[in-house]
Amino acid sequence: MWGQIAKLLLLNLRPNIKSISEAARSMAENHSKRGVLIVFEGCDRTGKTTQCKKLVTQLNDAGFAAQFMNFPDRNTQCGQLINRYLTRQDDFTDEGIHLMFTLNRWEKMKEMEKLLRTGVSLIVDRYSYSGVAFSAAKGLNMDWCKAPEAGLLKPDLVVLLTLSPQAIARRGGFGDERYEVTEFQNTVMDKYLLLNDEQYWKVLDADKKIDDLAADLYNITIDTIKKCETNPLAKLW
């Protein structure tokens, strides 16, 4: 008799068990969709900040959760020291300022990971590749420069914006900050190209109308979201 009761109970419960497991699966699927990490790199005046901000607006307007971030983040304690260095109010050794730029990224890692895991895509204006390319352009060893960046979140996509010398000339003069010197910027581009990894980098000529480039970047971003939103987060390098 107890066996029959158990059988009846099981038959009655089966549809519920099925619907519970379906709901759990669908919850897990939704939950496992994370935000994507997209980084913009390139030399001075290639339009990184312009494009990052435009992209975030386009994504938000289309209903995607997305947020702008930039490095150096001059608002943190470490960022304020970096700002004093860039604006020539302070001086540090090349090694010292390199580590400060890196620390500035580590300061933001918990916040970035939390946002990505809750489904917010991050559109980031400069990242570790600026750190390595600028310091290596000053003569520091590239492997030494990469070492303290190891363990930071790895981007799903790096967009390297390039401009020909003629196109740069049409964008007006440099500002007053350190590094805003043509020859140095050329060396930085050589170092960027050494870091280029075709598996997750796209090198794009930025000599286009702002809106045309923004449309291309939006399409690339949507492809990246579709491709990467269920992948686990990865670490550099």
Q: Which residues bind Mg ion (CB under 5 A)?
A: 49
Q: Which is nearer to Mg ion, 74 or 154 (CB)?
A: 74
- The answer to whether residues 104 and 78 touch, using CB atoms and an 8 Å cutoff, is yes
- Sequence-ordered strand ranges (E) for the chain: 37-42, 66-70, 121-125, 157-162, 201-205
Q: Which is nearer to Mg ion, 46 or 58 (CB)?
A: 46
Please give the structure tokens belonging to residue 101: 């730029």
Please give the structure tokens belonging to residue 124: 């980031």
Which residue in the block uniquely carries the two structure tokens 């419960």? 13
| Helix and strand numbers, DSSP H then E, in the chain | 10, 5
Q: What is the DSSP letter of 95?
A: H
Minimum distance of Mg ion from residue 33's CB (angstroms): 30
Give the C-alpha separation, 109 to 152, whole Å.
7
Residue 216 site contact among Mg ion, ligand Z5A, none (CB < 5 to 8 Å, cut-off depends on kind): none
Q: Which is nearer to ligand Z5A, 6 or 169 (CB)?
A: 169
Residue 34 site contact among ligand Z5A, Mg ion, none (CB < 5 to 8 Å, cut-off depends on kind): none
> Which pairing describes strands 201-205 and 157-162: parallel, antiparallel, or unpaired?
parallel
Stretch that binds ligand Z5A, among 29-37, 127-135, 150-158, 194-202 (CB under 6 A): 127-135
Binding to ligand Z5A in span 87-116, by CB under 6 A: 101
Name which position in 49, 67, 76, 187 contacts ligand Z5A (CB under 6 A): 49
Name which position in 35, 79, 131, 155 contacts ligand Z5A (CB under 6 A): 131
Q: Interface with ligand Z5A includes 79 (CB under 6 A)?
A: no
Q: What is the 3-state secondary structure (H, E, C) of 130-179?
A: HHHHHHHHCCCCHHHHHHHHCCCECCCEEEEEECCHHHHHHCCCCCCCCC
Q: Interface with ligand Z5A includes 158 (CB under 6 A)?
A: no
Q: Which is nearer to ligand Z5A, 35 or 42 (CB)?
A: 42
Q: Which is nearer to ligand Z5A, 101 or 201 (CB)?
A: 101
Residue 147 site contact among ligand Z5A, Mg ion, none (CB < 5 to 8 Å, cut-off depends on kind): none
Binding to ligand Z5A in span 16-45, by CB under 6 A: 42, 44-45
Q: Closest Cα to residue 132, out of 124, 122, 144, 123?
A: 144
Report the first-to-last Cα separation within the chain, whole angstroms.
64
Binding site for ligand Z5A (CB under 6 A): 42, 44-50, 71-72, 86, 101, 126, 130-131, 134, 171, 179-180, 206, 208, 210, 213
